[in-house]
Amino acid sequence: MKFIYILSLLLFSLCTLAQSTIGLIIEPSFNIPKFKKSSQSDSIKGISNADLTLSFGLEIKKKLDRYNAISFIPGFLQTNLLTVKENLQFLDIIHPSLPEIKDLTQSANKIARVRYRFQYIGTQILYNRQLQLRKTPPKLKIEIGGGMSLHYLIDHSVKIKTEGFALNNKFVHVIDNETGIDPNPILIQTLLNANLLYEVTPNYTLNAGFKIGLPITKTNNESFAFRIYNNGLRIGITKLI
pTM of the predicted model as reported, rounded to 2 decimal places: 0.88
d(CA 39, CA 48): 15
Which of 65, 68, 26 lies closest to 211, judged by CA? Answer: 26
Give the bridge partners for 37, in sequence order.
Answer: none
For CA atoms 184, 185, 188, 194, give the dihedral sign. positive
CATH architecture of 2-240: Beta Barrel (2.40)
User: Could you give the 3-state DSSP secondary structure of residue 42?
Assistant: helix
Give the bridge partners for 206, in sequence order.
Answer: 198, 237
- Asked if residues 8 and 16 have their Cβ atoms less than 8 Å apart, the reply is no
- Domain boundaries defined on the chain: 2-240
d(CA 41, CA 226): 8
- Asked if residues 239 and 204 have their Cβ atoms less than 8 Å apart, the reply is yes
pLDDT band, very low/low/confident/very high, at 7 (cuts 50, 70, 90): low
Which of 112, 117, 145 lies closest to 211, judged by CA? Answer: 145
- pLDDT tens readout for residues 12-68: 555 555 578 999 999 999 999 998 876 566 677 778 899 999 999 999 999 888 899
